[in-house]
Amino acid sequence: MLNQEVVKLLNEQINKEFYSAYLYMDMANYYADQSLNGFENWFFIQMQEERDHALLFRQYLLNNSESVILTVISAPDKKYQNYRDPLVLALEHEVFVTTSINTIYETAYKNKDFRTMQFLDWFIEEQGEEEKNADDNIKKFDLFAGDPKGLYLLDNELKARVYAAPSLVL
């Protein structure tokens, strides 16, 4: 059996991952409204990845005979003033998620829940990648998007991102 304090946090993480998906869909919608379809594509795929993360937490709980408890997902309430705003918010959000994953890991460690620590290893690594990708987007925007042609080329680059299913299979 898993530690119940850990189970509670794992259930809460399902909500956070679905909220992340909701937030990134909101950003994709914003860019779609602005006809920046490469940025839209990048965030739409990000939304799919977050949904996958939520489903991995769900499956892990089920694989361990624990109940999955779904709770209300808040609506994203951010208003974007410019094309850069969602990129900054995305990085801030990933740092928040990293902290959340770290808290679960710490709780699992304290309670000698070594199985959950092993499961979370994939997410620890994933969060490193997520933060790096979000930071890269801001840096590329600042370097290249200062004029319409640069923005057009960056949008085309982001259009090339393709969805890949998570490497973790449960």
Binding site for ligand FEO (CB under 6 A): 17, 20, 50, 53, 94, 97, 130
Q: Taking the CA atoms of 120, 123, 125 and 128 in sequence, report the sign of the dihedral they define.
A: negative
Between 138 and 151, name the residue whose CB sits nearer to ligand FEO: 138
Distance in Å, CB of 51 to ligand FEO, minimum: 9
Distance in Å, CB of 1 to ligand FEO, minimum: 26
CA distances from 88 to 52, 62, 78, 125, 144 (A): 23, 35, 12, 21, 16
Distance in Å, CB of 53 to ligand FEO, minimum: 4
Residue nearest ligand FEO by beta-carbon distance: 53
Instruction: Report the chain's C-alpha Rg in angstroms.
Output: 17
Helix ranges restricted to H, 34-84 = 37-63
Between 47 and 108, name the residue whose CB sits nearer to ligand FEO: 47
